[in-house]
Amino acid sequence: MSEAYAVDVDNVVKSFGTMRALDGVTLRVRQGEIYGLLGPNGSGKTTLIRAIVGLVAPDSGTVTALGHRIPDLNILSSVGYMTQAAALYPDISVEENLRFFAAISGADSNVDEVLKVVELEQRRKSVVATLSGGMRQRCSLACALVHRPRLLLLDEPTVGVDPQLRVQFWEHFRDMAAAGTTILVSSHVMDEAERCQRLGLIRFGKLLGEGTPNEVRAAAGTNNLEEAFLKLSGRAGE
Amino acid sequence: MSGHRIAAITRRLLQQFRHDRRTLALLFVAPLVILGLLGYLIRGGTSAPDVGIANQDQGPVGATIASALEKSSRIHTVTINPADGDAKLKDGSLIAYIVFPAGFSQLAQQGTIAPEIHLEGSQPGVQAPVLQALQDALTSVAASAIRFQPSVTYLYGGQNLDQLDYFGAAFIGLILFFLVFVVTIVSFLRERSQGTLERLMASPLRRGEIVVGYMIGFTILALVQAVEVLLFSLYVLKVHNQGNVLLIFGFEVLMALSAVNLGIFLSMFARTEFQAVQFIPLVIVPQVLLSGILFPVSTEPTPLQYVSDVLPLTYAVNGLRDVMLKGADLTWPALQLDVGVVAGFCVLVIFAGIGTLRRRVA
């Protein structure tokens, strides 16, 4: 049954000291779906993503990814994880970074293909430290894609990426989803939210609402997703 | 454990060093500078301090001793007027002056030799040659009256052994340990601070694979450094070596492995590279002071000897000296103990390193 969901987070609670980062989150992402996780800074998006890769151990509740109870090292070769800040080795080249992340995932790599996707073919021999912030972000995304993951977790992937390339990224995400890759992406950019098949609104470590962009708008009684988001997350504060 | 993944870590580390010329310079040029400097300091010849001589003796003894002092290589003598002596000590032109007072010869004949020695006094190290030179001069004068012929034999080394042989043997190990430790702790900490460790943890890599990959990468670098340091010490500085070079090399391998894993282990307790550098005075300096490199452990105050006895570097230094100065081999119980302790420490820090690298960062 659980195989139907690529990600199955069940009533997960996680506290750091007195701060409750996740307060009973239940969330299911279907195979091949693009799921957008929306929420303000500090709402628990990153903690939730880290719990899905097994970097955060829940205090209670369970996480299942690709049919395996997390933590499970073996499924990580099928998971691509892009951290919020571009986590790369600054003193080696773009290509060396890609080959490294491909090698540790143990999957067959498609270095040339991902370089094309992020438009860094010309800079493949450049040392990462010499790249601009946007280029680093693109290189970081490439490192998350290089081993052809079946589940892709992206923590605010398009920060610092120009609008033109952002559109390209999303086209690529759609192609990947169509080919069966599940994508969970956190964002607070609303035009990105519009491109997701389903959205989850997260605040104070709780999932406040879920649905397609249209459903979210309808639930809030507005035509504007940004307004809907503010309205829905505001309601929880009352 | 996957050899493929371990190789990926090692390859990446070596690529990083290929791009990072400054760190390479630190690893491969710094040891030569340190050892070369040490060699030049010890063997480059010392300049003799200036000592004033004032002979007011009317008899022959004062003049005899004064001329013996003039010939001494330890000091450089100048004839002065005793009234100017203190002023010259003050302005720094002399480090000491010796006065043979009037009636020195008469007193000497009665069995009392009483030269007046005035020392500058603030530099303990510089006074020793003055007193030594005077003693030599007195002995040579006295030797004309009595025969003094002790017979001296050496169990190890001998007359030709100097400070460089003694310190060199220890420094070969120390430099490697120190530099490899610093480079590992900083690069491992960078892995944490730049967020790549988070990525590694979200990959199928096992903790042991990360540690082994690092270990192989840094040990390769350390061994290249070890070969370089050994060749430089043995063939350029001509540090005395009585033992098997492979045994020295073996010690260096163990020390490199310990340094890498100590670095990984301690990187857990620092948040920034700045904090990591602060481990140097905390971890390295006490070991250097207490491991017998500078002061033999047997001359330390008793409480400190207990501390020295538990420091792994003490055994490494001791072992290297035994091999190089005494020609020890693995049949010597003392060397078995040294190798055993260093190897034991190495295994301990490998597990400590793996243990601190928790998969769950939170």
The DSSP string of B82-107 is GGGHHHHHHHTS-SEEEEE-TTHHHH
CA B164 to centroid of chain Cα atoms = 9
Burial B257-273 (b: 16+ CB within 10 A, else e): bbbbbbbbbbbbebeee
Mapped onto helix, strand or coil, the DSSP state of residue B149 is coil
Residue A84: DSSP 8-state: S
Strand boundaries in A70-213, DSSP class E: 79-82, 151-155, 182-187, 198-203, 206-211
Tens of pLDDT, residue by residue over A98-131, are 999 999 987 667 899 999 988 899 999 999 999 9
Residue with tokens 């390769």: B220
pLDDT tens digits along B40-94: 888 877 678 889 999 888 888 888 888 888 888 888 888 888 888 888 888 888 8
Is B186's pLDDT higher than 60?
yes
3-state class (DSSP) for residue B74: coil
Q: Does A143 touch chain B (CB under 8 A)?
A: yes
Q: What is the pLDDT at residue A238?
A: 40
Higher pLDDT, A43 or A96: A96
Tell me how crowded residue A135 is: count the other CB atoms within 10 A of its CB.
20
- Spatial separation of the C-alpha atoms in residues B152 and B95, rounded to whole Å: 33
Instruction: Count Cα neighbours of A198 within 13 Å in the Cβ-side half-sphere.
Output: 16
Percentage, residues of chain B above pLDDT 90? 20
Q: How many CB pairs under 8 A join A and B?
A: 84
Given pLDDT bands bounded at 50, 70 and 90, which one contains residue B348?
very high
> Residue B132: is its pLDDT beyond 70?
yes
Beta strands B50-55 and A68-69 are unpaired
- pLDDT score, position A169: 86
What is the mean predicted confidence (pLDDT) over B235-259?
90
pLDDT reported for residue B147: 67
Residue B168 has pLDDT above 50, yes or no: yes
Beta bridge partner(s), residue A60: A13
- The alpha-carbon radius of gyration of chain A (Å, integer) is 18
The predicted-structure confidence for A139-187, as pLDDT tens digits, reads as follows 999 999 999 999 999 998 887 788 888 888 888 899 999 999 999 999 8
Average pLDDT on B178-203 reads 88
B361 pLDDT band (50/70/90 cuts)? very low
Position A236 scores a pLDDT of: 43
Mind telling me how many Å the CA of A63 is from chain B's nearest CA? 14
Query: Chain B neighbours among A 31-70 (CB < 8 Å)?
Result: 50, 53-57
Please say if the pLDDT value at position B9 is more than 50: yes
**Where do the DSSP E strands lie in A79-212?**
79-82, 151-155, 182-187, 198-203, 206-211
Looking only at the bridges linking them, the beta strands covering B116-119 and A198-203 are unpaired
pLDDT number for residue A159: 78
* Out of B8, B194, B199, closest to residue A81 by CB: B199
Residue-wise pLDDT for B172-185, tens only, equals: 888 889 888 988 88
Please say if the pLDDT value at position B332 is more than 80.
Answer: yes
Lowest mean pLDDT of B101-105, B126-130, B293-297, name the range. Answer: B126-130
A137 touches chain B (CB under 8 A): no
Closest in A57, A83, A85 to B360, CB measured: A57
Which pLDDT score, from 0 to 100, does residue A12 have?
93
- State both tokens at A188: 């607070």
Q: Least CB-CB distance to A104: which of B15, B198, B203? A: B203
pLDDT band, very low/low/confident/very high, at B32 (cuts 50, 70, 90): very high
Q: Do A87 and B194 touch (CB under 8 A)?
A: yes
Of the residues B19, B192, B199, B207, the best mutation for testing chain A's interface (the one with the most A CB atoms within 10 Å of its CB) is B199
Q: Is A69 helix (H, G, I), strand (E, B) or coil?
A: strand
Q: Tell me the DSSP string of B174-236.
A: HHHHHHHHHHHHHHHHHHHHTSHHHHHHTSS--HHHHHHHHHHHHHHHHHHHHHHHHHIIIII
Report the side by side order of strands in the sheet with A5-16: A19-30, A5-16, A60-65, A68-69
Per-residue pLDDT averaged across B100-119, rounded?
84
Beta partners for A13?
Answer: A23, A60
Model pLDDT for residues B261-305, shown as the tens digit of each residue: 898 888 888 888 888 888 888 888 888 889 888 888 888 899 999
For chain A, give the mean pLDDT. Answer: 88
Q: What is the pTM of this model?
A: 0.80
Alpha carbon distance B182, B22 (integer Å): 14
Cβ contacts (< 8 Å) between B5 and chain A: which residues? 103-104, 106
Residues on chain A touching B194 (C-beta within 8 angstroms): 87-90
